[in-house]
Amino acid sequence: MNKDMEYIIHGNHHDPFSYLGMHPVERHGRMMITVRAFIPEARTISVVDNERENISYPMERIHAEGLYEIAIEEREKVFKYRLRIVDHSGNIRDAFDPYSFLPILSNYDLHLFSEGKNHFVYRRLGSHIMTVDGINGVYFAVWAPNARRVSVIGNFNGWDGRRHPMRVLGSSGVWELFIPGLSEGEIYKFEIKTTDDLILLKSDPYGFFFEMRPKSATIVHDVDRYQWGDSKWIDERPGRNLHHEPVSIYEVHLGSWRRRPEEDQKFLTYRELAHELVDYVKEMGFTHIELLPVAEHPFDGSWGYQVIGYFAPTSRYGSPEDFMYFVDHCHQNGIGVILDWVPGHFPKDAHGLAWFDGTALYEHFDPRVGEHKEWGTLIFNYGRNEVKNFLISNAVFWFEKYHIDGIRVDAVASMLYLDYSRNEGEWLPNRYGGRENLEAIDFIKELNALLYGYFPGIMAVAEESTAWPMVSRPTYLGGLGFGFKWNMGWMHDTLEYISKEAVHRKYHQGGLTFSLLYAFHENFILPLSHDEVVHGKRALLDKMPGDFWQRFANLRALYGYMFGHPGKKLLFMGGEIGQWVEWNCAQSLDWHLLQYEPHQKLQRFVKDINHVYRREPSLFEIDFEYTGFEWIDFHDADNSVMSFLRRGRNPDDILIFVCNFTPVPRFPYRIGVPRSGFYRELINSDSEIYGGGNMGNSGGVLAVDLPWQGRPYSIELTLPGLSVLILKPG
């Protein structure tokens, strides 16, 4: 048995195309054609001339494992053919030979990929239904530069890695194979033989659809057939500037927003969510839905933050078309869609990216650089062009194929700092001796510049918890290039303040006002996110001090203050109905609470303040410049009262906020205002319709010509306990 035969039989051939398929050869001084095929399930095989049906050439079985060969002496030139296979049951089928096709991936594609510049590489790598030379089939391509052999395996070949070994394209490390006759719905994996002769079974890193967990195979799927109906939204998006528009985000985990208790806690599908969730969000006045990661992930308890299928919406809730329908329905109802995106780390599951070709391919080899011990995950090697290309093309993919409107990039701080969550001696400094991850910084800048270039009008949001400068400033000014940054400091300080008993708040008012010292350093989103209602941190309502009534009043005051503070808004699901218990990803929100009046009225408050926010330009037009905000008085710590003013571009667009953070009513309470006239009470969080004590100002007050607090006019107010008033002149 020669070496080639041995390598094919044992699944070790690095270049199967050099042996299998049709080849012109010279024997005994003359040219002839040889054809070889390895098909273990065949009893006999014949080579059939595609152009001359009546001509066929029976092949000889040259190895008992199923290797066949023929030398066709009367033919000197290659011709188009197919294989007629008779199996051991006598069934006859014709099949085109995968080893009769020329390479498909171009040298230009490979060059761009190796340079990290093939931003649409998902159109090439992965699995793709296509027609080659008039023959239908599926094309597979995967990057595994250090593999000895890579094969496509599935039901179509009995999961036998010897059947469909792939060709490697030069030094690119990309392996490819076109398998004729396959179609949509085939399940497959890549079988990778390492240089140590280990066999790894890997899901497709570029796969578009996956089996439902706990299964982990990839499914061949066409993501280009959905007929979109959101052209108006997409056409108008480039002309929008969200920095000057209302952005109120409802953060959602799709698997636990609502379930079907009567059907054993069944998930809602993407299509069911498209109507139930979108209709709810629209009614509540939110402008965007932000989804915790929907990319395929094996473990429910990771909430989607440990991704395996970066290019696949999870099959838990339906098909790719079902998720497209969800996004489409959002857009047709005026709701933007933001995806939580996780380029900072990935899990160690055997079928995923970890140790993909038997080497540290997507990750770093050294755990001091390549492992998050705290999370039990691995860190991408951002300095490797092909890895950077994988991540950039993944972000581009979700915008292009799924029409999303933004990404919220998770755990940016963990990417920026080499010593993140590490002790001394557990990390390696950069080439200058510093703690900054220079490769990650370059990746982030390139990513953001490309996304805003390709898709104007979208949002790129950083979840970044440190004082890294210019996170939300353009790359051409030296920034990281994000459009927005979560204000983690505001969230921490505000929740710490509001969680204190009211009697102690006068000693901590500086913690509440501190955020205004840096409010305009970045383009901030103010989050009350999922991270604050898990792991023993308690639900928002449960964080509030006081008796039953005061807890609801405190929470309304918190929301009122948030909507007045400069910055876009984000609220995690359940916060609007007053969940008492922490969020649990394994069950539905406690919608039954809405049978009780306090929860109904809290929900109405969130709805009303959202709608006020959306229609009042002073609350969103100048969010990121100091000219949009003025303190009226923040010195009244003894009474835990503070007041401020918000401005729009139009001088007539003014709102006054007055916050009383104790349960003690204050009256009469005078504040200075910029002009005369009637100040209408737009929102009083103590109103009876919101569950308050219904103390207030009878719909508004008239300013008098009495200078106060450095302003030419003043108004005298009744401040209910634990309340926020929003007043508008004119």
Same domain? For 199 and 79 the reply is no
Same domain? For 288 and 428 the reply is yes
Whether residue 604 is contained in a domain is answered as: yes
Scored b (16 or more CB within 10 A) or e, 334-371 reads: ebbbbbbbbbbbbbeeebbbbbbbbbbbbbbeeeebbb
Residues with catalytic annotation?
410, 463
Whether residue 241 is contained in a domain is answered as: no
Contact 174/183 with Cβ under 8 angstroms? no
Same domain? For 205 and 155 the reply is yes
Question: How many domains does the chain contain in total?
Answer: 4
Contact 142/175 with Cβ under 8 angstroms? yes
Whether residue 236 is contained in a domain is answered as: no
Same domain? For 603 and 686 the reply is no
Contact 332/230 with Cβ under 8 angstroms? yes
Whether residue 192 is contained in a domain is answered as: yes
Q: For residue 131, what are its two tokens?
A: 């027609």
C-alpha–C-alpha distance, residues 49 and 655, integer Å: 82
Query: Which range of residues forms the domain containing residue 635?
Result: 626-729
CB atoms within 10 A of CB 409: 24
Whether residue 501 is contained in a domain is answered as: yes
Whether residue 46 is contained in a domain is answered as: yes
Contact 339/293 with Cβ under 8 angstroms? yes
pLDDT averaged per 10 residues in sequence order, the chain, 730 residues: 88 93 89 95 94 89 95 91 94 95 95 96 97 96 97 96 96 97 97 96 98 96 97 97 97 96 88 97 98 96 95 98 98 98 96 97 94 93 97 98 98 96 92 96 98 98 96 96 97 97 96 96 98 95 97 98 98 98 95 97 98 98 97 97 97 96 96 97 98 95 96 97 97
Same domain? For 394 and 503 the reply is yes
C-alpha–C-alpha distance, residues 131 and 147, integer Å: 28
pLDDT at 357: 96
CATH code for the domain of 690 = 2.60.40.1180
End residue of a domain, out of 98, 130, 150: 98
Same domain? For 332 and 424 the reply is yes
Same domain? For 576 and 670 the reply is no
Same domain? For 114 and 78 the reply is no
Same domain? For 91 and 146 the reply is no
pLDDT at 49: 93
CATH code for the domain of 26 = 2.60.40.10
Q: What is the CA radius of gyration of the chain?
A: 31
Q: Which is nearest to 613 in space by CA: 285, 189, 255, 335?
A: 285
Same domain? For 724 and 607 the reply is no
Whether residue 226 is contained in a domain is answered as: no
End residue of a domain, out of 47, 63, 98: 98
End residue of a domain, out of 98, 117, 147: 98
pLDDT at 1: 64
Q: Is 590 helix (H, G, I), strand (E, B) or coil?
A: coil
Angle at which helix 438-454 crosses helix 385-402, to 10 degrees, equals 30
Same domain? For 334 and 477 the reply is yes
Give DSSP secondary structure letters for 283-325.
Answer: HHT-SEEEESP-EE-S-GGGTT-S-SEEEEE-GGG--HHHHHH
Q: For residue 89, what are its two tokens?
A: 């049951």
Q: For residue 22, what are its two tokens?
A: 């049709």
Whether residue 163 is contained in a domain is answered as: yes
Where are the extended beta strands (E) located within 194-292?
199-202, 218-219, 248-252, 259-260, 266-267, 288-291
Same domain? For 197 and 67 the reply is no
